[in-house]
Chain A
Amino acid sequence: MKVQLTRLAHARSGDKGDTANVGLIALEDKFYPILVREVTAERVKQHFKGTCLGEVERFELPNLGALNFLLHESLGGGGTLSLMTDAQGKTFSTALLRMEIEITDQEASEVHV
């Protein structure tokens, strides 16, 4: 079944130049493998189609139950050059949490869907 990421994770995002970073953190340790399986760099690139014009990189932090994504060319030039309301990418965190992912019935019972 499909579930929105916000049921499984919280997040914080920020910027480095024209790159937005999104740290995605499992709400419970047992959700982390689901994030690793479902929230791939390709899926994130697709999710931010039209916003992220460059590559998406993904890094794993199993110690924190977290994934870190770098979304290149996403902030309208970044820093002071950007005309965007969110030039620092602060709201990319919850934008990612909108993503719908596929989980099994067993997993769904653990997420209490």
Chain B
Amino acid sequence: MKQKIRIAAGQGFWGDLPDAPVRQVEGGPIDYLMLDYLAEVTMSIMQKQKARDPNAGYAKDFVPLMRRILPACVERGIKVTANAGGVNVRGCADAVIDVARELGLGGKVRIGIVTGDDIMSRLDELLSRGIELRNMDTGEPLSTVRDKIQSANVYLGAWPIVEALNQGAQIVITGRATDTGLTLAPMIHEFGWSNDDWNRLAAGTIAGHIIECGGQVSGGNCQYEWRSIPNLADVGFPIVEAAPDGTFVVTKHERTGGWIIIPSVKEQLVYEMGDPREYITPDCVADFTTVNLEYEGRDRVRVFGIEGRPATEFLKVSISYSAGFKAVGTLVYAWPDAYDKAQAADRILRRRLDRLGLKFDQVLTEFVGVNATHGPLAGPPHPDIPEVQLRVGVRGQDRSAIERFTKEIAPLILTGPPAVTGFAGGRPKVEEIVAYWPALIPKEEITPVVEVLT
């Protein structure tokens, strides 16, 4: 058994720095590269892409990335875990197999795929058996939005990925797998942890949480002494050096920018946290109040003492549904009286919208430069404020009302308060709102499927 494995994070979200995974592979020794592509509503975007093109529906960026790094991964035995498969895991795997063949690596790369997370086609059957898939936030049963659902995927954990690695896969592509599972699975595979070793499973889970947002633990978005953070232009993405006992070190490649310090790790630990004693994943319940941190050198933070508890009997389901339309329009007002002018423009706009008799679920006005981030806490703006951006958003069920709204913004330039600009982009775009519906499903309803292809 290896005494240490290095797991490198390459993407904090779909659309993160394109070269980050390449730099992780080329910048120093790693054993695993983990890539998290799926945000909460990403699956619905992929579902739509697949509806238009049966070969689409996965993270397209993953394929050209593999073209760049596959030779190095094969040469050095680096394994990849990625939830790049979206709603077309097999299509993604086939595209990677084609790339391997083109690179002269045909037959040399075993690709594991994990499916079984997509329950879209089973929804009616599940609902008919009384599995209500109630919204975890609001308590409403899924039947209230049944005809608007666009995708439904269960978050799978580490174990199906472990199974693929155990079968010799070098690249593991999943659909909706938890980001923490992508990091935990290599540890289970390498160190042979058992499925009731809750403390170690929790440790691997928290390691995953620490690196799942990429550069956000190595100096990105770091409030602590932010002016002192070295060379963020070349920020090094995080790497976990894991040991069989469940302890690990958070670090990054040498000669990269950013920093790994205890305050930056703490900031990432509390990111998107709920009850810190109850961080629930398919694999365990991790307790963040047991995390201990200490320095082990420059850009090296050791994490130890983590405890966990048994996993729950449920899996989380990520359902997306169509929830109407929205649009946001902006204009910029200049000194003098910039804020007064922006407020006057808002009043004029609302009066015109009222007269048109348009129905919206919500109209929200913000004044960027005054209150868009801190609201009333920001206090009144300086009377000589040089400029203010008026930002008005509307949403509703009637697309035509939202479209009408988008035609009322530009006319304010010639028919409203003076010293106004900032309308180069044309009319605001009407966007369909695809909303997120979190629910729980009993674990026994779901059977992950693992295959290894070459």
Chain A interfacial positions (CB closer than 8 Å to B): 10-12, 14-19, 21, 23, 25, 27, 47-51, 59-66, 68, 70, 76-77, 79-81, 83-86, 90-91, 93-95, 98
Contact = CB atoms under 8 A, between A and B. Distances in A.
Interface stretch (B20-28, B334-342, B364-372, B417-425): B364-372
B323 A84 contact: no
A15 B293 contact: no
B289 A62 contact: yes
A36 to B, nearest CB: 14
Contacts of B376: 49-51
B274 interface: yes
B271 A12 contact: yes
Given A17-B438, A64-B293, A93-B223, A85 B270 contact: no
A85 to B, nearest CB: 4
Nearest to A97: B223
Interface residues of B, number: 47
Contacts of A85: 366, 368, 372-373, 391
A93 B368 CA distance: 18
Contacts of A63: 289-292
B438 A23 contact: no
20 contacts: A11-B267, A12-B267, A12-B270, A14-B271, A15-B272, A17-B436, A18-B137, A21-B272, A21-B274, A51-B376, A59-B273, A64-B288, A64-B293, A65-B266, A80-B434, A80-B435, A83-B326, A84-B372, A84-B393, A95-B375
A95 B377 contact: yes
B288 A79 contact: no
B373 A70 contact: no
B375 A64 contact: no
A28 B224 CA distance: 12
A97 B263 CA distance: 16
Contacts of B272: 14-16, 21
A81 to B, nearest CB: 5
A23 B273 contact: yes
Contacts of A19: 137
Given A60-B289, A77-B362, A86-B373, 19 more contacts: A10-B223, A10-B267, A11-B223, A15-B272, A16-B272, A21-B274, A23-B267, A48-B377, A51-B376, A51-B377, A64-B269, A79-B41, A79-B435, A80-B435, A83-B394, A83-B395, A86-B372, A93-B223, A98-B374
B275 interface: yes
Contact of B274 (A70, A81, A93): A70
Interface string B370-400: 0011111100000000000001011100000
A59 B273 CA distance: 10
A63 B393 CA distance: 42
